[in-house]
Structure 1
Amino acid sequence: MLTIGEFSRLTHLSVRTLRRYHEAGLLLPDSVDTTTGHRRYTAE
């Protein structure tokens, strides 16, 4: 599992863009911690 920062570096997308994509339903993280809101992504 990758943090949003790690996924950002690998995909060359900003963290802000990843958050907006998630909100729009375009690119969903594998999991979101309901307590902290931290997004986790897989390499797939």
Structure 2
Amino acid sequence: MALIGARKLFFVGQFNLLNDLQMSQEAVASLYMHHCLSTLLI
């Protein structure tokens, strides 16, 4: 029973980590796009 709980926690943790990575990648991508656009405008 405890093993299943631990495994579940592990998967949830992995999912949250992936979610955070995706969010940060999107944030970096949008910042990069903004940077490129602003340099083009200057």
Compute the TM-score of the two structures, normalised by the length of structure 1.
0.28
Q: Which has the higher helix share?
A: 2
Larger Rg: 2
- TM score, norm. by length of structure 2: 0.29
